[in-house]
Structure formats: C-alpha cells, structure tokens
Chains A and B, each alone.
Chain A
Amino acid sequence: MEQTLDLYAMERSVPNVEYDPDQFPGLIFRLESPKVTSLIFKSGKMVVTGAKSTEELIKAVKRIIKSLRRYGIRIGGKPKIQIQNIVASANMHVHVNLDKAAFLLENNMYEPEQFPGLIFRMDEPRVVLLIFSSGKMVITGAKREDEVYKAVKKIFDKLEELDCIKAVEEEEELEI
C-alpha cells in the first residue's frame, strides 16, 4: 500500500496479530481463508505468503485490507501486487539416478550427507529445482507459472537424455 501505517495502533486494535519490533520490524497477520500469512511493515509494504494461486493471493490481499479497515485502520487506494516467488512441487513418476545426474549436469550440488535432494540451478527459466530419487521435486524462484511448467519439462527431457531416469510410471505436475 502506498501509505505509512501505525503498527503499534494495529497491534492494539486488530486481534490475533504478532508484533515485536525488537525481534522483527514487520507485524504478523494470519488470515484463515484463504489461509495465508502476511508481514505488514510501517512503510505500507507487505509480504503475503502461503497462497496456492494468483487468484487466491488477490482474494487474500483484499480480505486482509477489509479486515484491517473493519478494526478501524484507515487504508486508502488499491494495493499493487507483485509475485516474487512461486514454489511448486512435481512428480515425474520415475526413479532418478542422482549420482549420475550429479556427474553429468552442470550447475548442481548433490550432498546426500546434508540433504537428500540434488540442487539444480537452471539458467532459463531462472529457477532452482530440488530433485529427489523418487522422481518428485520442488521448483522455486519462478515469478510466473509458465516458468514452472517450462522448467519441469526441461529437466525431465534433460534427465532422460542423460539416461538418469528409470521408468516407474508416467508424468505429471502440481502447483502450490
């Protein structure tokens, strides 16, 4: 929001919020439906996490503002929303040979003593994928939904081309 906010006043009048400026400069506001969590700053900027889709995110932002107004917080104008990060999970339904993939892929890190997934930094689209031997993975760092689908298709094709995949079933995907 393009305006400054009095977080102390919000902490007094809005129920179920957490605000401890010594610990963190943002006020924590949790919305039950859609289930998201928001960090609200005195600059009027806020971070909203946990939304499962863009539609859900927009709905959540509207409800957060409506809720704040209901408790007497004066907020004017429309919020400008930017998607900063999309986190998604996908399942390729195959078994992945991570040792081989670690050897053949370029920007990767695979340290099974620290974390079971292979971390792959893709240049285009610019995302990071956590790939597991089960064929499931996590895609993060995307700003648009189509980047997620593009990245999943790309890594699947690449792993297949490098012969790092052992068939178990089919192909599929999801979004958070």
Chain B
Amino acid sequence: RWRKWQIRARIQSSIDRNLAQAMNELERIGNLLGLPKSVKDEGALIYRKAVEKGLVRGRSIESVVAAAIYASCRRMKIARTLDEIAQYTKANRKEVARCYRLLLRELNVDVPVSDPKDYVTRIGSLLGLSGASMKLAAEILEKAKNVGLTAGKDPAGLAAAAIYIAALLNEERRTQKEIAQVAGVTEVTVRNRYKELIQELKIEIQNQ
C-alpha cells in the first residue's frame, strides 16, 4: 500500500535526519573528550538503539548523545565523569544523568559498576606519576574493596585518595589539591577517603 510506504519512508527519514545530527554531536563531544574511535562507535550504536525506540522524543539530541557517550565509556571502562561529559553540552549534569538512566532502563545495555581502578590510570597519567605508583594505588583499592570499604563511595574520590597515598609512599608526592582537581572531587573528599583508607588498612605514613 502506498500510504504504508509513505509512513515508513517518513519515519525512516526522520530517524536518518536525527542520526545525522546526532553523529555530528557525538563526534564533536567525543573529540573534545579525547575518546578513541572504539568508544565513539559504541556510543553511536547505543544512540541508534535509543532513536529506534523513540527515546529521544521530547529530549534534546545533545543530552541523549552525552548519555550514550557516558554509557559507552562505562562499558569500555574509560574513566570519565558525567560532569566532564556534560560540560560540552548545553544540558546540565542532572539532565544527562536522567537520559543515562533512561538508556539503562529502556535499552538492553549492560553497564558494569564503575571500578575505582579505572580512575587511577587517568588521574595518575594526568599527574605524570610512575607506573609503580599507579600499580600501588590499584593494590590499595583492591584491599579496600575486599574489606568492604568502597561500597557506596564515589570511585573518583576513592581513586584520588589511593593515588595520594601511593604517591606519598613512592616519594613522588602530589598535594591533595592537585589530585582533587584532576579527579573532579573536592579536597575534603580526598582527605576523608585518605583518612579512612590509612586507618582501616593500617597504612603507615611517615610525617611530612
């Protein structure tokens, strides 16, 4: 039937137009975040599923793209906070988070719980720390997880504190302020996590 064909064509073209615009946005934001092609491709796949399910209706393309990028980063274990991603959009973190939750509930995307260790690599390299310190920080986080210290806590804050301790022990100290800034958390959070980690894991820190 002609009518059926027309409707199909119309829907298809609207999806195509939406996708074309979204892919530009995805490319733009992905590049600003310095994401590898594989992560952008995964984000594109997630976004395509969302459009086909009509999840973008009533929402800005940009915020759904941002949410798809975040979901992709999480799946590929690329440490990026929602704030980092949302800063390149007109939407705020809350709106992007809302879209992200929608993607999780409506699409069959499996996203693992984020691992603080993934943040160690990013924070460590941004600070120019040695591989040994990053490895030590990861070991500290593993111990913390095993004694149930990490549940409910922001992975970025945990990673920041572990890095702080590891750098201290390896004599390549960075200030809490420097670490907090690249980790995207406050100094207070780094300090709180730091205190808890050294106390519960009985880590000896020499003065100064």
Of chain A, the residue at the smallest CB distance from B148 is A95
Question: Of the 9-residue stretches A46-54, A111-119, A150-158, which lies at the interface with chain B?
Answer: A111-119
The reply to whether the CB of A96 lies closer than 8 angstroms to some CB of chain B is: yes
Q: A97-B148, A103-B113 are in contact. Are A116 and B153 (CB under 8 A)?
A: yes
**What is the 8 Å Cβ interface bit string for chain A, positions 33-54, against chain B (1 contact, 0 not)?**
0000000000000000000000
Chain B contact residues: helix, strand, loop or mixed: loop
Whole-angstrom distance between the alpha carbons of A97 and B82 in the complex? 24
Tier of interface size on chain B: 10 to 19
Whole-angstrom distance between the alpha carbons of A95 and B148 in the complex? 8
Best-buried of A95, A99, A113 by chain B (most CB within 10 Å): A113
The reply to whether the CB of B81 lies closer than 8 angstroms to some CB of chain A is: yes
Contact across chains for B154 and A112 when beta carbons are under 8 A apart: yes
Chain B residue contacts of A116, Cβ below 8 A: 152-153
Whole-angstrom distance between the alpha carbons of A97 and B155 in the complex? 15
The reply to whether the CB of A132 lies closer than 8 angstroms to some CB of chain B is: yes
Q: A99-B113, A102-B113 are in contact. Are A113 and B151 (CB under 8 A)?
A: no
The reply to whether the CB of B114 lies closer than 8 angstroms to some CB of chain A is: yes
- A-B CB contact pairs (8 Å), 22 listed: A95-B148, A97-B151, A98-B152, A99-B145, A99-B151, A102-B113, A103-B113, A109-B101, A111-B113, A112-B151, A112-B154, A112-B155, A113-B82, A113-B154, A113-B156, A114-B82, A114-B97, A116-B152, A117-B152, A133-B148, A133-B152, A166-B148
- Which residues of A approach B to under 8 Å, CB–CB? 95-99, 102-103, 109-114, 116-117, 132-133, 166
